[in-house]
Amino acid sequence: MRVCAIAGGVGSARLCAGLARVMDRRDLTMIVNTGDDERIRGLHVSPDIDTVLYHLADLTDWQRGWGLAEESFVAHERYQSLVEKLPGGKDDLQDWFALGDRDLATHLLRGRLLDLGRPLGEVTQALAEAFGIESTVLPMSDDPVRTVLTTTEGERLDFQTYFVRRHHTDDLSNIEYTGAEQSTPAHGVIEAIQGAEVVIIPPSNPVLSVAPILAVPGVEKAITRSAAIRAAVSPIVGGRALKGPADRVLSALGHDVSPVGVARIYKGLIDVLVLDAVDEQHAPDIEALEMRPVVLDTIMTGPEEAARLAKDILDAVA
Ligand code: FO1
């Protein structure tokens, strides 16, 4: 059964790792958010793509959620010690963003292939092959789309400054996906959606991780016109996000911080909303939105739980 996941962030990567364990992984395609991409110390870093690659290659540090399990940060610590010796200035030397020693190899290979003029989609598929991944991993676009956040103080922050440097503590007043209007879907993205029998939006931040993908012209329309069963998994459980700032971001933008709020955001895009058992009381409100609520244990504390959730979802929608 051909499955296409609209993936961004750790929750997505976890569920995709689960899907790859319970289905023919050659029938799994992930369309990944690149709005978090950032130039870090001369390197093109694509966090959501690498998080998916590492989860699918079973190389990830499940607790940290990003980067590699067997990791060291010798180069990064040395960089920080050099930066400390410089006179303090206003330049942001990005020493707040940690690149692990083994993780560096991924950025170096991506950077070299990009320098050779290869589009991000080809580079990403080359990395997937290098990691022995049989599923298809696609960036949402080869073009630069960047999530930019405006705080209630009026500051405009690039994503990693907001998320990592400032620990996503800023209150937000606006979110933009700069470059989206001029972007086009990467090669294979629309075909993957059109060819899918199931489209899944994993438990990711609807506004920070999924919306940038839907902002690429043609993607949302392909999903609404798709003949597939389309299911989204609520990233909000018991009124809170399991990881990251999804609860505060939804609240700041006036959405209900609940599976119902998530369902309203995806109204028209999905047929099924998967919600956690602790939120079962919301099922009738989901039905009122003309979606089918599917109540499951959606907490993925490890690869086995991710595989079980993936199987439960495929069983429920098939
Ligand atoms: N997140 C952090 O909180 N601190 C970091 O130093 C950090 C480094 C990093 C390096 C490579 C990478 O692929 C991801 C990294 N992340 C880090 C996570 C990243 O900011 C987030 O995974 C996404 O951008 C949001 O999902």
Contacts of residue 146, Cβ cutoff 8 Å, sequence gap at least 6 = 35, 37, 158, 159, 177, 178, 179
Q: How many angstroms separate the alpha carbon of residue 299 from the centre of ligand 1?
A: 21
The answer to whether 231 touches 273, Cβ cutoff 8 Å, is yes
165 DSSP assignment: I
Taking phi over 0 as left and psi of -120 to 50 as alpha, with beta for the rest, 218 belongs to left
**Best mutation site among 79, 164, 168, 205 for ligand 1, i.e. most ligand atoms within 8 A of its Cβ?**
164
- Strand, coil or helix: what is 143? coil
Give mean pLDDT, residues 106-111.
98
- Rounded to an integer, what distance in angstroms lies between the CA atom of residue 305 and that of residue 299? 7
pLDDT digit string (tens) for 156-214? Answer: 999 999 999 999 999 999 999 999 999 999 999 999 999 999 999 999 999 999 999 99
CA-based nearest residue to 139, from 102, 173, 180, 98 = 180
Centre of ligand 1 to C-alpha 97, Å, is 7
Q: Which protein residue has the closest C-alpha to ligand 1 atom 2?
A: 164
pLDDT in tens, 66-96: 999 999 999 999 999 999 999 888 899 999 9
Band (pLDDT 50/70/90 cuts) for residue 52 is very high
Rounded to the nearest angstrom, the distance between the alpha carbon of 66 and the centre of ligand 1 is 6
Neighbouring-strand partners of residue 178: 146
Q: What is the pTM of this model?
A: 0.97
Residue 39 pLDDT level (bands cut at 50, 70, 90): very high
Tokens at 262, concatenated: 């998530």
What residues are in contact with ligand 1 under a 6 Å CB criterion?
9, 36, 45, 47-48, 50-51, 66-67, 97-99, 103, 160, 163-164
Distance CA 256, CA 36 (A): 24
State the average pLDDT for the chain. 97
